[in-house]
C-alpha cells in the first residue's frame, strides 16, 4: 500500500533531510489542503507526523492534525511525540484515526505500549527508526544500543498492529530504499511491516513490495514530483501488490 506522508512542523507541511530539523523544505502552509489533495489522487491512508512533538514530546501541532483528520474521508495514522496515555487517547478519539504510532514510548516503556495494544486492538503501531541498524528515539536525536530488529522482535505477540521501519540515512534523500535491510527486518517478524525512507521511483516501490513489507510511506518523492501518486497506485494494482490496510 502506498501511503503519503504529511510531516508537520510549525503548522506547515515540510520534508526533512535525514530527520534533521534545520534541513527542512516547506511544501505547503496548509496541511489540510495537502491531505485533501492526496485523498483526491487515490490515497487510502495518510501518515501524519508532528515533527515538533517528536523532538519535544508535546503535541505541538495537534490542532492541524485534528483538522486533517476531520476533513478527509480516508483513515489516517498519527505519530510524533505520543509518549503518554493522555496523548494517545486524545488522538485515538479523533475521527478517522485508524491508529497511532509509538516510537520513543515503545522503546522506553514497552509495557505501556503492550497495555494500549490490549485496550485498543489493531490501533497501536510501533515506529522503529534505524541508524546503522540501531534504534533511534526522540525525533532521531538519540541513537540507542538496541538493534532495530531486536526491538521489533520484542513486540511479537503483543497485539501491535504493524511496525513502521524507517532507514534514517535514506529518509528525504531520494537515494533509493535500503531494500536488503527492509527484507531482513520484515523476515524477522510476523507483524506487518510498513517501510519508509529513500523511495524515489515506482521501481523502488515494487522492490519494497517484494520484500514482504505490506506498505510504503512516501514523502519527498511525491512532493517533488518524482512519483505521481495516481500512476503509482495504478501500477502497483496492476501487479497485484496493492490493497493492504489492516
As a whole number of angstroms, the distance between CA 91 and CA 88 comes to: 5
E strand segments, 103-181: 124-131, 134-137, 142-147, 163-167
Place of cell 516503556: 109
- Considering 52, 129, 167, 171, which one is annotated as catalytic? 129
DSSP element (H, E) containing 229: helix 229-238
Known active-site residue 7: yes
Residue pair 205/221 in contact (Cβ under 8 Å)? The answer is no
As a whole number of angstroms, the distance between CA 47 and CA 106 comes to: 18
Known active-site residue 171: no
Please name the residues in contact with 119: beta carbons below 8 A apart, sequence gap of 6 or more.
none
- Considering 7, 52, 167, 171, which one is annotated as catalytic? 7
According to DSSP H, which parts of 41-103 are helical? 51-56, 62-71, 85-92
Residue pair 136/129 in contact (Cβ under 8 Å)? The answer is yes
Give residue 30's region: left, alpha or beta (phi > 0; psi -120 to 50): beta
DSSP element (H, E) containing 76: strand 76-79
Question: Which residues belong to the active site?
Answer: 7, 129
Amino acid at each position: 500500500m502506498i501511503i503519503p506522508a504529511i510531516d508537520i512542523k510549525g503548522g506547515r507541511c515540510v520534508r526533512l533531510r535525514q530527520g534533521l530539523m534545520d534541513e527542512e523544505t516547506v511544501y505547503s502552509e496548509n496541511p489540510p489542503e495537502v491531505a485533501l489533495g492526496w485523498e483526491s489522487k487515490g490515497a487510502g491512508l495518510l501518515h501524519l507526523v508532528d515533527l515538533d512533538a517528536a523532538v519535544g514530546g508535546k503535541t505541538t501541532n495537534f490542532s492541524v492534525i485534528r483538522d486533517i483528520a476531520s476533513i478527509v474521508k480516508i483513515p489516517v495514522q498519527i505519530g510524533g511525540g505520543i509518549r503518554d496515555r493522555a496523548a494517545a487517547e486524545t488522538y485515538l478519539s479523533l475521527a478517522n484515526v485508524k491508529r497511532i504510532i509509538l516510537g520513543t514510548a515503545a522503546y522506553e516503556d514497552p509495557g505501556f505500549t503492550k497495555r494500549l495494544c490490549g485496550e485498543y486492538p489493531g490501533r497501536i503501531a510501533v515506529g522503529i527508526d534505524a541508524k546503522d541498524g540501531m534504534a533511534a528515539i526522540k525525533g532521531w536525536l538519540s541513537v540507542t544500543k538496541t538493534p532495530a530488529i531486536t526491538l521489533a522482535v520484542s513486540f511479537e505477540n503483543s497485539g501491535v498492529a504493524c511496525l513502521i521501519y524507517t532507514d534514517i540515512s535514506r529518509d528525504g534523500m531520494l537515494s533509493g530504499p535500503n531494500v536488503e535491510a527492509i527484507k531482513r527486518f520484515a523476515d524477522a517478524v510476523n507483524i506487518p511491516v510498513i517501510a519508509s525512507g529513500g523511495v524515489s521511483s515506482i521501481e523502488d516501490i515494487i522492490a519494497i513490495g517484494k520484500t514482504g513489507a505490506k506498505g510504503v510511506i512516501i514523502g519527498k518523492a511525491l512532493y517533488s514530483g518524482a512519483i505521481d501518486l495516481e500512476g503509482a497506485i495504478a501500477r502497483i494494482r496492476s501487479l497485484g501488490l496493492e490493497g493492504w490496510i489492516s
